[in-house]
């Protein structure tokens, strides 16, 4: 993929996504009971999963789901996410709306965020909910990885929208990516070379999302963009102090990496690094206070473990009812790997725990 990119034949992410979708065609996921339809919500493609009516039941609960893939890969239509959303619809007897937001390199931040927000707001309109027989008081916003990032950012914006008459009851974030402020949290240090999502790959996803230059990768890795002399970052530092936000079992013996002098030009070149629509963990306490009841799933073998744990703690400090569901023997991305030949016990374990929480709280 990178060779093709280097030869300027195509962007490496386009090639990688093509390979993923080609492999995905080898799998077949079907359902006799769940009605699966594609629709367009305010210009954004979505896939809707509807379970059959049960007896005299009039309204169903619902989940708006936003898929992961580093804002650049996968699709609501791939079998992995198709299978997850189908099982959610069956297990919860819920209408699941899977958002097909546009990807890097076609678009960059904030377009993915706008797509997710537009689709969600469209669905939350009373007449649309009525069309799908959804109970307005029983709606969750959810997503994994980069989709968890978008779900958190959408939830924050919805809490500020005074024109909304319907708001989500819950948010459920699966190993979410929530900050680009500190690439040396304990989980980033511990799992820097962990397969599936090494630290340098996550940094490159951020650079691609922001349409930045890969030449900045090393400076980001050593936190030059948030050094003590970078004035734009100072006001956010207290919101992401992992020494006070993480439990000792996560901190272990790792030490903070805080540069005294850094490169302020990075923030000037990529101001989105400090944009809360891209990095929801940097939101102020007033915004966090307004968030709905929250579920955060984290995995030990994941550079993003501490992103989720810190967000859970900040929400808890703000008075939000939070469940942090941590899996000691699982890895980033595992929840969608439940279909042969990648049918891992870690996937089934995390998926069942996630669906159980939704069932009990939605």
User: Residues with catalytic annotation?
Assistant: 145, 302, 332
Please report the DSSP string for 306-352 in residue order.
HHHHHHHHHHHHTT--EEEEEEEEEETTGGG--STTS--HHHHHHHH
Q: Quick one: CA dihedral 299, 304, 305, 311, positive or negative?
A: negative
Tell me phi and psi for residue 137, to 5 degrees: -95, 5
Which element (helix H / strand E) includes 127?
A: helix 126-131
> CA-based Rg of the chain, rounded to a whole angstrom?
20
Instruction: Find out whether 288 and 320 touch, Cβ atoms under 8 Å.
Output: yes
Length of the chain: 362
Task: Give the HSE-up count for residue 68: Cα atoms under 13 Å, Cβ half-sphere.
Answer: 25
Query: Two tokens at 94?
Result: 């819920």
Distance between CA atoms of residues 127 and 66, nearest Å: 22
357: nearest Cα among 290, 296, 289: 296
Decide if 220 contacts 209 (C-beta within 8 A).
Answer: no
**Terminal alpha carbon distance of the chain:** 42
Q: What is the DSSP string of 179-241?
A: -SS-TTSHHHHHTTT-SSS-HHHHHHHHHHHTT--GGGHHHHHTTGGG-TT-HHHHTTGGGG-
Compute the distance between CA of residue 354 and CA of residue 356 in angstroms, rounded to an integer.
5
């Amino acid at each position: 993929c990178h060779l093709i990119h280097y030869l300027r034949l195509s962007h490496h992410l386009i090639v990688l996504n093509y390979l993923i979708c080609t492999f995905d065609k080898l799998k077949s996921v079907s359902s006799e009971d769940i009605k699966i339809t594609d629709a367009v919500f305010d210009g954004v493609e979505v896939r809707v999963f509807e379970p059959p009516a049960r007896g005299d039941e009039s309204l169903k609960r619902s989940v708006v789901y936003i898929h992961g893939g580093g804002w650049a890969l996968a699709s609501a239509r791939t079998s992995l996410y198709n299978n997850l959303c189908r099982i959610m619809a069956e297990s919860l007897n819920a209408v699941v709306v899977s958002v097909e937001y546009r990807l890097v390199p076609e678009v960059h931040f904030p377009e993915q965020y706008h797509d997710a927000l537009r689709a969600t707001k469209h669905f939350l309109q009373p007449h649309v909910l009525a069309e799908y027989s959804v109970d307005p008081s029983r709606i969750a916003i959810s997503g994994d990885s980069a989709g968890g990032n978008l779900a958190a950012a959408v939830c924050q914006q919805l809490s500020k929208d005074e024109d909304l008459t319907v708001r989500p009851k819950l948010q459920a974030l699966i190993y979410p990516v929530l900050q680009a402020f500190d690439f040396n949290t304990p989980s980033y240090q511990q799992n820097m070379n962990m397969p599936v999502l090494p630290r340098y790959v996550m940094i490159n996803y951020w650079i691609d999302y922001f349409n930045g230059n890969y030449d900045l990768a090393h400076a980001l890795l050593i936190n030059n963009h948030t050094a003590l002399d970078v004035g734009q970052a100072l006001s956010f530092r207290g919101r992401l102090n992992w020494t006070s936000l993480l439990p000792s079992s996560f901190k272990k013996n790792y030490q903070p990496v805080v540069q005294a002098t850094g490169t302020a030009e990075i923030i000037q070149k990529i101001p989105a690094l400090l944009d809360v629509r891209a990095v929801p963990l940097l939101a102020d306490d007033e915004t966090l206070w307004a968030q709905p009841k929250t579920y955060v799933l984290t995995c030990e073998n994941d550079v993003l473990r501490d992103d989720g744990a810190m967000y859970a703690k900040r929400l808890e400090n703000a008075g939000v009812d939070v469940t942090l569901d941590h899996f000691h023997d699982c890895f980033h991305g595992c929840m969608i790997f439940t279909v042969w030949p990648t049918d891992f016990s870690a996937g089934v374990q995390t998926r069942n725990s996630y669906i159980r929480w939704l069932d009990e709280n939605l």
